[in-house]
Structures are given as C-alpha cells and as structure tokens.
Amino acid sequence: MMTQKTLLTTLMLFMALGNFKNALAQNTSEEITTPPQLVERWYGALGGVDRRGFEELIAEDAKIVLKDLGVEQTKSEFIAALDEWEKSTRNANIIFRYELIEDDSASVLVCYRFETNEQLISESFTFSNDQITGSVQEFKSDNCGDM
C-alpha cells in the first residue's frame, strides 16, 4: 500500500515530467536538440531498468564514470551492473533538471529518491552519432532540496 509521502512524491514526479514535456512541445523542432532526447531516454531506461534500451543508447566505446566510487565502466559492465541497480532501487523516483545543454554534451542535476534516503547527483553526458559516449556521475548531497 502506498504511503502518503510515496503518493505525493509520485504525483510530483508525474507533474514535473508533464511540465517538461509540455515545455518541449511548445518549442519548434529546430530548438529541440539531440542531447535532451538522449538524456530522457537514459533516465527512462534507468527507471525501467531497460537493458535493451541501454544497448541501443550507449556507444560501444562509451565510458561510464562513477567518480565517488572510483569506478569506470564499459558499456557491457554498466549493463551488467543493472542487476544490482534493480535490486537496490525498487520504488525509486528519479527527477532531473538540466544545467547545461550543448551540441555534444549535457549536464544534469539528478535527485534519486529511494524508499529510505535520497541523493543529489551531478551527471555529465557526452554524445556522438545519436548515442551516449560518456557519463560522469558525481555525488553532491544526501538531500535533494526543492527538486
């Protein structure tokens, strides 16, 4: 059974995603760049633990860096680690906000809200040929503030 806090968090996430999609819909297609589409696919695949989605999204020579853990993963290592991610993130909410979008990169602040805690993470992505070629993730806080 959903608690009030979980329900409120879920509703806030849907509202935030709806507002983001509405904002994108109001832009012309020329204004919408590839990085936001790739970042949205990343978090969609992460939230749904979509291994096939990551297979298509991540370039073969990509590097995923988890700075705080001192870990650098290849595409296959990242996808293999999704088993552990899936176990440890049941009922998690992922909320993100763009900090910077360029032609071949994007920086995002991400709030991961788990059942017992939350984490604010800074994530930077690089892109080439409509795929993610790199991701660097760095812990910022154990509190997401107003996200």
Q: For the segment 87-112, what is each residue's pLDDT rounded down to a tens digit?
A: 887 778 999 999 999 989 999 999 99
Q: For the segment 13-27, what is each residue's pLDDT rounded down to a tens digit?
A: 333 444 344 333 333
Domain regions of the chain by residue span:
37-141
Long-range contact pairs involving 64-71 (C-beta distance under 8 Å, separation at least 24): 64/134, 64/135, 64/137, 65/134, 65/135, 65/136, 65/137, 66/137, 67/136, 67/137, 67/138, 67/139, 68/137, 68/138, 68/139
Q: What is the pTM of this model?
A: 0.75
pLDDT at residue 67 greater than cutoff 70: yes
Q: Quick one: pLDDT band at residue 61, thresholds 50, 70, 90?
A: very high
CATH of domain 37-141: 3.10.450.50
Q: What is the pLDDT of residue 35?
A: 81
pLDDT at residue 65 greater than cutoff 70: yes
pLDDT at residue 11 greater than cutoff 80: no
Instruction: State how far the Cα of 55 lies from the Cα of 82, in Å rounded to an integer.
Output: 12
In single-letter form, the type of residue at position 107 comes to: S
Mean pLDDT (the chain, rounded): 81
Percentage of the residues of the chain whose pLDDT score is greater than 70: 77
